[in-house]
A and B are shown apart, each in its own frame.
Chain A
Amino acid sequence: MKFEPVYIVDGARSPFLKSRNVPGPFSASDLATISGRALLARQPFAAEDLDEVIVGCASPSVDEVNIGRVIALRLGCGNKVPGWTVMRNCASGMQAIDSAIANIHSGRSQLVLAGGVDALSRAPLLYSDKMVLWFSHMAQARTLGARLGMFAKLRPGAVLAPVIGIVKGLTDPVVNLMMGQTAENLAWKFGISRQQMDGFSVGSHQKVSAAQKAGHFDEIVPLIDTNGKVYAEDDGVRHDSNIAGLAKLKPFFDRTYGKITPGNSSQITDGAAWLLLASAAAVEKYQLTPIGKITDTQWAGLDPAQMGLGPVHAATPILQRHGLGLNDLDAWEINEAFAAQVMGCVKAWEDPAYCQEQLGLDAPLGKLDETRLNIDGGAIALGHPVGASGARIVLHLLHVLRRENKKRGIATICIGGGQGGAVLVEAV
């Protein structure tokens, strides 16, 4: 089937704000609304002209049920523009884009605002099953005596040990591994050393730092909180990041004996990212000037215990369909969930056995020119607001291509649960 290009008219994102172990200044819908309002304000059409709003979000708060609709209304789209939410873990924002593409392809929609958001600093604390059971029995206790008896049964351990929503969310429910442990698997499989990962991470910080100084993150809409404080930049980057500093951090997922530390993992962060997608007809109708187009997308599944290789499985079929080698693309964005995971992807493409057994290729795809990879750094320095990252890398890839007068690139992301997603974009 021929893939009709879908146009990217414009895009914007919030700064990515690192979680400081307290609820951040903005809720998920705040982040998406403020950045989305600014994006819509510069369009020649009104918010009501959108056909739909699609939002990827992995952990909306309890008062943001179907956060896509909440955001659409808060954006001023009016009652008649539908809004919905998609969830594919770390690729939720990319799924929103792909769902928009599907609806544009089918003719249901012409003009769609799609993106992703998460405010991980506000991830809920949950009650344990024991505590929930206690509440349920308490509600059934009719007499004062029965109620007092219930208090006697209350064990402090049950109250004081809430389940941290974000830890649950970042644990694979089937193979029961934390995401960091799946990255340990890749480090083990491909023999990636702690020092190599830390070196990759320092590189991510340095690239983000340089890009910030050069003003290369102009897709950011600064946020203002209710106290009039401005949040203009991604605040997770360490401009002085170095190997010696990272070496001091302790392994977090496989404690003591592992290699994956918070320093060589993506950060827990709040953020939102948007793309405005349009059919050729909508471009014509509103006389839009697209900045790029999406010419292919692909989803793939793989062993959940090696979920970090998702990009390899998703991007390879696109390369095959278009007859492209790894370095025929001008730029790559591979979301940096973990240093070991991005490095694992590069190694998998070089590995004859992996390419043959897992991808069915006669020969490995070869060595990805790393100067084309994550040119302005990635989630290790910027943070990974789960729902937003998939949209951010598509948007930023396009900015990189346009800045460097290049044509084509792939943005791809690994997905907890053992999947990968990839998007082929072209600058216009």
Chain B
Amino acid sequence: MTYKHWKLERETGDQNAGLAWAILDTANSSTNTLGAEVMAELGLILDECERTPPRGLVFKSAKDAGFIAGANIEEFTTADTPEKARALIQRGWDAYNRLAAVSYPTLALVRGHCMGGGTELALACRYRIAVDEPGTKFALPEVMLGIVPGWGGMLRLPQIVGPAAALDMMLTGKNIDAKRAKKMGLADACVPPRVMENAARMLVLSGKPPRQAQLPFMQKLMNGPLKGMVAKGAKKQVAKRARQEHYPAPYAIIDQWQNYGGNTLAVPADQPTSLDALIRHSTTRNLIKVFFLQDRLKGFGKDAKSFAPRHVHVVGAGVMGGDIAAWCALRGMTVTLQDQSVERIAPAVGRAAKFFEKKLRDRKLARFALDRLIADPKGDGVRQADVIIEAIFENLDAKQKLFADIEARARPDAVIASNTSSLKLADIAATFKDPSRLVGIHFFNPVAMMPLVEVVAGEKTAPEAAQKAAAFVRRIDKLPLPVKDAPGFLVNAVLGPYMNEAMKCVDEGIAPETIDAALVAFGMPMGPIELADTVGLDVAVHAGKQLVADAVPPKKLVELFEAGKLGKKSGQGFYTWVDGKAQKVGGGDTANPELAQRMLKPLLDATQRLVKEGVVADAELADAGVIFGTGFAPYTGGPMNYLANR
């Protein structure tokens, strides 16, 4: 029988005769997704195998990109009524139950990404092999879209790896690499690609008991009689990060595992943890929107197709410049890092070394990343670089002088960029021979944590330069957002008035802890006062002058600034900082919607104004920018979406 998306091949050789391979190759797609047709054909394959049972059945992918990327998300987004959603869940739940019950042994040979419904397919097999490559990643990321792993993930993952590890994976949506998968029992074996087919043949025919039968006694207890205790602990953990009214999905996962055997369909529709409740909740809609917005941002990197940057030259080895350089080296770029002396570059190299060890968890790989980061006090790298990023202090004269030298020495096809956050790009470009070359590539602090990078086009910036800059941003795995050359661009222009309002509240006698708690309760990753301390009060004073229409700066801010109390970096600002942590008295997780709304208003107003002025192309991109650039509560779908649906 022939299929549109699958191939079923039976081996004929002596040793492996009767072994069958189910090879997924989703038609018209670079990745494997589990749409209705693919799932229907899976049923036909199981039918065929029922008629002539193989000695073993191995699932693998025909795609270079990976194993299975998950459900078909377009199909999922059209399931906007509870009935359609139930049907969608039912389809996968039944198919995988059937797969799990077949009489012959089954195995998933996982190479590359294995997400959501892909991981659930693998879990329904008797065995799993993880191919030991950097690209191999298991995840159940449904929670990030506000939904639950309803195709048996909540049922089987706790049986296979124990409930603690399973809940951790389902509640965070995090990626599990091949070695980790083996270690935690998610995979039965972790093998190099050269032996993967052989390993699959040997393991599927081995007759070994499945992982479920090997689960330690204590884990079995935790997945049985002690469920309540585990669930309580998990809820407590989740509550620290997400309030139930904002993010119902993680609470639903815990409840469905604890009380319904992981069967989403068994939850009565009137329960707050039911599929119906999730589908009706605005968070689910908004998170899916955010997911698509991320794709839209990624798309901006595709215009300059032929641009394949490999060498980045960064000028300025301060916190921003140093961290930009380290990030680029981590992403495989050759990086030359320039500053006035090697002594000024050294702290950035030391910081990068620690960062690489933490991130790569392998001394050799960390060393090789550090090899790519070259201290360049003389600026020799300018001549060869594909991308040149200036990240020196915010002084127009200094920048113009520096760029005069860079423009003279850079390759004609190199991208010349400034990371300025407070100067007008057009002013910097004024002394260029060819002002169309200068583009803004504006990173956010901390570079390693913030996914967004603003790509700023000044009045004279050539479209090609901005496209190449966006391509570069994608190449280092960040999200490019095209913005116009207006003060503060998008992100800082919305943060400025918001932080200003918060500091005015302090002047009125409201405790910083109370203010921060109100915004954290709203869903911000960090309150505005703590944020001001983190970016530095000198920066806040400077930015305030430029970004806030109101001429009178907050009193307390000025006092602190003049006393040299600059926040986190000096150990004292609105808060006292010890070991990089703000020392807070009280506050906690106290919701105070009125107070929160007061501070959000200037942010929302600013976003609206910037959309109207065309600093950012449309409302959706403004939402994307503010979420990925500031961490603005993702469940709201961004400030413009929040305004529209409030």
Contact = CB atoms under 8 A, between A and B. Distances in A.
Interface of A: 30, 33-34, 37-38, 41-44, 46, 74-76, 222, 224-230, 232
B350 A41 contact: no
Interface in B322-359: 334, 336, 342-343, 345-351, 353-354, 357
B345 A224 contact: yes
Contacts of A41: 336, 374, 376, 380-381, 384
A224 B345 CA distance: 9
Interface stretch (B142-150, B363-371, B614-622): B363-371
Contacts of A227: 350, 353
A225 B381 CA distance: 21
17 contacts: A34-B371, A37-B374, A38-B374, A41-B376, A41-B380, A41-B384, A42-B381, A44-B383, A74-B368, A75-B371, A224-B350, A226-B370, A228-B348, A228-B349, A228-B351, A228-B353, A230-B342
Most-contacted residue by chain A among B354, B375, B381 (CB, 10 A): B375
Contacts of A46: 384
Contact of A230 (B343, B367, B374): B343
Interface centre among A46, A74, A228 (most CB of B within 10 A): A228
A228 B368 contact: no
B346 A224 contact: yes
A74 B374 CA distance: 12
Given A41-B336, A41-B380, A224-B346, A76 B353 contact: no
B361 to A, nearest CB: 15
Contact of A37 (B348, B351, B371, B383): B371
**A37, A41, A228 — which one has the most chain B CB atoms within 10 A of its CB?**
A41
Given A37-B374, A224-B350, 20 more contacts: A30-B367, A41-B381, A42-B378, A42-B381, A44-B384, A74-B368, A222-B342, A224-B342, A224-B345, A224-B346, A225-B350, A226-B350, A226-B353, A226-B357, A227-B353, A228-B348, A228-B350, A229-B350, A230-B342, A230-B346
Given A41-B336, A224-B346, A230-B343, A33 B383 contact: no
A16 B461 CA distance: 47
A367 to B, nearest CB: 42
A228 B347 contact: yes
A226 B363 CA distance: 11
Contacts of A33: 371
Contact of A76 (B354, B367, B370, B371): B371
B334 A76 contact: yes
Interface of B: 334, 336, 342-343, 345-351, 353-354, 357, 367-368, 370-372, 374-378, 380-381, 383-384
Contacts of B357: 226
A12 to B, nearest CB: 11
Contacts of B349: 224, 228
B376 A38 contact: yes
Contacts of B372: 76
Contacts, number: 60
Nearest to A71: B371
B350 A232 contact: no
B332 to A, nearest CB: 10
Contacts of B377: 222
Given A229-B346, A232-B342, A224 B375 contact: yes
A222 to B, nearest CB: 4
Contacts of B371: 33-34, 37, 74-76
Nearest to A37: B374
Nearest to A34: B371
Contacts of A224: 342, 345-346, 349-350, 375
B385 to A, nearest CB: 9
A41 B312 CA distance: 11
* Most B C-beta atoms less than 10 A away, residue of A43, A75, A76, A224: A224
Interface pairs A-B: 9 shortest CB-CB: A228-B350, A42-B380, A226-B353, A224-B349, A222-B342, A224-B346, A228-B346, A230-B346, A228-B347
Nearest to B344: A230
Contacts of B354: 226
Nearest to A75: B371
Contacts of B345: 224
A46 B386 CA distance: 12
A225 B336 CA distance: 16
A135 to B, nearest CB: 27
A295 to B, nearest CB: 29
A224 B376 CA distance: 12
A74 B334 CA distance: 11
A30 to B, nearest CB: 7
B168 to A, nearest CB: 31
A230 B349 CA distance: 10
Nearest to A30: B367
B350 A38 contact: no
A289 to B, nearest CB: 13
A33 B370 CA distance: 10
Given A44-B383, A228-B350, A229-B350, A38 B368 contact: no
A366 B582 CA distance: 77
A75 B346 CA distance: 20
A231 to B, nearest CB: 10
A53 to B, nearest CB: 14
A226 to B, nearest CB: 4
A29 B618 CA distance: 52
Nearest to A227: B350
Nearest to B313: A41
A46 B381 CA distance: 11
Instruction: Name which of B353, B354, B374 has the most chain A CB atoms within 10 A of its CB.
Output: B374
A76 B333 CA distance: 10
B570 to A, nearest CB: 20
Contacts of B370: 226
A419 B368 CA distance: 37
B408 to A, nearest CB: 15
Contact of B375 (A38, A43, A229): A38
Contacts of B350: 224-229
Contacts of A225: 350, 353
Nearest to B372: A76
Contacts of A37: 371, 374
Nearest to B348: A228
Contacts of A230: 342-343, 346
Which among B334, B357, B377 has the greatest number of chain A C-beta atoms within 10 A? B334
A74 B351 CA distance: 20
B288 to A, nearest CB: 42
A415 B131 CA distance: 50
B108 to A, nearest CB: 32
Nearest to B380: A42
A264 B376 CA distance: 37
Contacts of A75: 371
Contacts of B348: 228
A64 to B, nearest CB: 12
Given A42-B380, A229-B346, A222 B375 contact: yes
B443 to A, nearest CB: 21
Contacts of A232: 342
A33 B348 CA distance: 19
Contacts of A74: 368, 371
A30 B368 CA distance: 10
Contacts of A44: 383-384
A377 B246 CA distance: 73
B625 to A, nearest CB: 34
Contacts of B375: 38, 222, 224
B175 to A, nearest CB: 27
B613 to A, nearest CB: 42
A44 B383 CA distance: 7
A222 B346 CA distance: 10
Interface centre among B343, B346, B348, B372 (most CB of A within 10 A): B346
A236 B367 CA distance: 26
A148 B356 CA distance: 45
A327 B353 CA distance: 50
A18 B346 CA distance: 21
